[in-house]
C-alpha cells in the first residue's frame, strides 16, 4: 500500500495551481511533474510545487516512472484526447477535471475508454465537498421528509480570463450549462437520488464579454439563464444562474423542500474577491425550517482558513483530494465516477439544446 503519492499535473493555469496548493495539504502527497504547453505556466506551477520536474510534452510526463497518479486540469475541449492518450500510454489513477467532454458525439468514446481503464477515474465534481453543501446533502432527507423540490442559485462574477481565451466560446467550453453548471446538475442527481427525464431551459448573453473580440470573433458564451428538470421519482429541480452578480453576499444558495420542511445552504464566493470595505467575509450557513413546529434553525459552518487560502472553492478541492488520495493508496472508493461525469454533461448539453431551440428535451 502506498504511503506517499507522486502526482503528475496536466494543465498549469489558475485551477491547476489550486490543485497544487491543495495536494500539498494532504499528508504524503506532492506534485512531482507538470506539463503545460505555455512555458511560463509550467514554470510557475513547478515552482509552486516545490521544484517539480517540467515535462516538454504530455507524452514526456506520462513517461515519468515515478508518478503514482495524474490530475488533468486542461481546457475543456482537450479532455477527451488527453484521456485517450493517457488510457493508451499510462493508465494511472486519474483525477479528471469536469466536464469530461463537450461534444455529444464524444460520449460513446469516453464510455469505451472508461470501461477498459484498469485504474480508478475520479471526476472533479468538487461542489459536493463544500462543507455547507456537504451538510445539506447529509441532512436533506431528514430535514425535508424526502426532497420534492430543489432549487440551486448561483449569483457570481463573470468568467475569468483564461489562456487563449478558450472559455469565451461555446465551441471550446461546451457552453455555459456544460462548463459551469455540470456541478449543479451533479448535485441535483445526488440530492434527489434520481435521474432526470426532462430538461427545459432558457439562457443567453446579456451583459458579459459583449465588447470583446478575439481573432475577429466576439464571445458567444452565455452569462445567465434558468433550467428546470423533471426527475424520474417525481421531484423537480431548478437552476438560476447569473454571472453578473458578484456584489452578492452569498454566491450559491441551495434550497431543498419536502413534506416536513426545508433546508438551505448558503455559500460565499472566493474570499479574495470580498472587498475589505464590506467588513468581514460572509461565513457559510445552513438553515433548517421545519413545518411543525415552526422555527428556523440557523447555524454557521465555517471553513478552515488554510483551505480558503488554498483555493476559490470553499475548501472543497482539499476534501476532494483527500478522498482521491485515499483511493490511490488503496484505502478509499471512487465517489464521483465516470458515469456521474457523463450524466452531468448530458444534462448540460440538454439544457443548451433546450435554451437554443425553445423546446423541452427528453432524456
Q: What is the pLDDT of residue 182?
A: 97
How is residue 217 annotated by DSSP?
A: B
End-to-end Cα separation, the chain, in angstroms: 42
0.85 exceeded by pTM: yes
| SS3 at position 305 | helix
Task: Give the integer Cα–Cα distance in Å for 286 and 299.
Answer: 6
Q: Mind listing the pLDDT tens digit of every residue in the chain (363 residues)?
A: 788 999 999 999 999 999 999 999 999 999 999 999 999 999 999 999 999 999 999 999 999 999 999 999 999 999 999 999 999 999 999 999 999 999 999 999 999 999 999 999 999 999 999 999 999 999 999 999 999 999 999 999 999 999 889 999 999 999 999 999 999 999 999 999 999 999 999 999 999 999 999 999 999 999 999 999 999 999 999 999 999 999 999 999 999 999 999 999 999 999 999 999 999 999 999 999 999 999 999 999 999 999 999 999 999 999 999 999 999 999 999 999 999 999 999 999 999 999 999 999 999
Contact 147, 231 (CB under 8 A): no
Contact 325, 155 (CB under 8 A): no
Could you tell me which of 159, 140, 160, 138 has the C-alpha nearest to residue 151? 140
Q: Which burial class, exposed, middle or buried, applies to 183 when counting CB atoms under 10 A from its CB (0-12, 13-18, 19+)?
A: buried
Which whole-number Å values give the CA distances from 212 to 157, 158, 176, in the listed order? 17, 13, 17
Q: What is the pLDDT of residue 163?
A: 86
| SS3 at position 262 | strand
List CB contacts of 329: < 8 A, sequence separation 6 or more. 1, 2, 3, 5
Angle of helix 316-328 versus helix 14-23 axis, rounded to 10:
60
Q: What is the pLDDT of residue 247?
A: 94
How is residue 50 annotated by DSSP?
A: T
Residue 232: how many other CB atoms lie within 10 Å: 12
Q: Which three cell numbers stand for residue 218?
A: 466576439
Task: Give the integer Cα–Cα distance in Å for 297 and 280.
Answer: 23
Task: Give the integer Cα–Cα distance in Å for 20 and 63.
Answer: 20
Q: What is the pLDDT of residue 315?
A: 97
Q: Which burial class, exposed, middle or buried, applies to 312 when counting CB atoms under 10 A from its CB (0-12, 13-18, 19+)?
A: middle
Strand partners, 187: none
Q: Which three cell numbers stand for residue 129?
A: 465537498
How is residue 244 annotated by DSSP?
A: S
Strand partners, 203: 225
Amino acid at each position: 500500500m502506498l504511503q506517499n503519492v507522486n502526482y503528475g499535473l496536466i494543465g498549469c493555469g489558475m485551477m491547476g495551481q489550486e490543485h497544487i496548493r491543495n495536494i500539498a495539504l494532504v499528508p504524503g502527497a506532492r506534485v512531482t511533474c507538470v506539463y503545460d504547453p505555455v512555458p511560463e505556466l509550467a514554470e510557475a506551477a513547478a515552482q509552486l510545487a516545490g521544484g517539480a520536474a517540467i515535462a516538454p510534452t504530455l507524452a514526456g510526463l506520462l513517461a515519468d516512472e515515478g508518478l503514482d497518479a495524474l490530475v488533468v486540469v486542461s481546457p475543456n475541449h482537450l479532455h477527451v484526447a488527453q484521456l485517450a492518450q493517457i488510457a493508451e500510454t499510462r493508465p494511472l489513477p486519474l483525477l479528471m477535471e469536469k466536464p469530461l467532454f463537450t461534444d455529444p458525439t464524444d460520449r460513446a468514446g469516453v464510455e469505451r475508454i472508461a470501461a477498459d481503464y484498469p485504474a480508478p477515474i475520479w471526476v472533479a465534481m468538487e461542489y459536493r465537498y463544500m462543507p455547507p453543501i456537504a451538510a445539506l446533502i447529509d441532512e436533506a432527507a431528514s430535514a425535508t421528509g424526502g426532497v420534492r423540490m430543489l432549487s440551486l442559485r448561483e449569483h457570481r462574477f463573470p468568467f475569468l480570463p483564461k489562456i487563449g481565451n478558450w472559455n469565451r466560446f461555446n465551441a471550446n467550453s461546451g457552453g455555459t450549462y456544460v462548463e459551469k453548471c455540470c456541478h449543479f446538475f451533479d448535485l441535483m442527481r445526488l440530492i434527489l437520488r434520481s435521474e432526470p427525464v426532462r430538461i427545459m431551459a432558457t439562457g443567453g448573453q446579456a451583459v458579459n464579454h459583449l465588447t470583446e473580440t478575439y481573432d475577429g470573433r466576439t464571445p458567444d458564451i452565455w452569462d445567465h439563464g434558468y433550467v428546470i428538470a423533471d426527475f424520474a421519482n417525481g421531484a423537480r429541480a431548478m437552476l438560476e444562474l447569473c454571472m453578473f452578480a458578484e456584489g452578492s453576499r452569498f454566491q450559491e444558495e441551495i434550497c431543498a423542500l419536502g413534506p416536513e420542511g426545508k433546508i438551505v445552504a448558503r455559500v460565499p464566493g472566493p474570499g479574495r474577491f470580498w472587498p475589505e470595505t464590506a467588513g468581514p467575509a460572509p461565513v457559510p450557513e445552513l438553515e433548517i425550517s421545519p413545518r411543525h413546529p415552526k422555527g428556523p434553525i440557523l447555524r454557521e459552518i465555517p471553513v478552515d482558513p488554510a483551505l480558503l487560502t488554498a483555493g476559490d472553492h470553499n475548501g472543497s478541492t482539499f476534501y476532494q483530494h483527500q478522498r482521491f488520495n485515499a483511493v490511490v493508496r488503496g484505502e478509499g472508493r471512487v465517489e464521483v465516477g465516470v458515469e456521474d461525469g457523463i450524466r452531468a454533461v448530458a444534462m448540460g448539453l440538454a439544457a443548451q439544446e433546450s435554451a437554443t431551440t425553445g423546446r423541452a428535451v427528453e432524456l
